[in-house]
Amino acid sequence: DSGVTQTPKHLITATGQRVTLRCSPRSGDLSVYWYQQSLDQGLQFLIQYYNGEERAKGNILERFSAQQFPDLHSELNLSSLELGDSALYFCASSPQVREDTQYFGPGTRLTVL
Amino acid sequence: SQQGEEDPQALSIQEGENATMNCSYKTSINNLQWYRQNSGRGLVHLILIRSNEREKHSGRLRVTLDTSKKSSSLLITASRAADTASYFCATGGGNKLTFGTGTQLKVEL
């Protein structure tokens, strides 16, 4: 158990809908990262937050947004969902902004029908 | 985009045998990490090797790094059924990790 929690575990929704994925980092970790894992794209970095501020952006679609709250938990919002958004979404955390090792949560499996 | 390519894509061995998987990457790195993923679950950090290191050990794991060839290998000795998982190399660190395509390892009894 990495200490990173993610909810929900599974999410099934329809195209066009909006969902929110939640992540609680390990106790004391200030950085939160979001990744998407799909069969065709593999594991892709989406976005990083550090202590409430956005620090780095990867291949994140404009339909997706994230934020980190004062208690350091983070949410990833996915809107206007498409079939291709079906994937595993992972959150990871690390103590500081430029740590090498990241600790991953169990993931949220999103299925868009 | 993937930074690394892993080889083989899939590997099936008997318990007790050694498993070797390779990772090639494209750009200069400060370090390279290996992660394990059990059947669609979260990734678990295994080992990190820095660019000035050539070899590192952790329990039954041995990692080598050849920066001139931009490649790394992960050796799991005396494999167990519980080692069945996907293994990913990752480069970067700091703001983001860039993962390879992964090797699916199956260890059979």
For A4-18, the pLDDT digits (tens) are 999 999 999 999 999
pLDDT at B1: 46
In this prediction, residue A99 carries a pLDDT of 67
Looking at residue B93, what is its pLDDT?
A: 67
Select from A41, A108, A75 the least CA-distant residue to B99.
A41
- Nearest chain B residue (CA) to A49: B95
- The span from the CA of B98 to the CA of B65, in Å, is 17
Cα gap A80→B85, rounded to integer Å: 33
| Least trusted range by pLDDT, from A80-84, B2-6, B40-44, B75-79 | B2-6
Give A66-80 pLDDT, tens digit per residue: 999 999 999 999 999
Element (H, E) at A57: strand A53-57
Mutate which of A96, A100, A108 to test chain B, going by most B C-beta atoms within 10 A?
A100
Distances (CA, A) of B67 to A77, B19, B54, B75: 39, 22, 9, 18
Average pLDDT for A49-56: 94
Interface contact flag, A90 B42, Cβ < 8 Å: yes
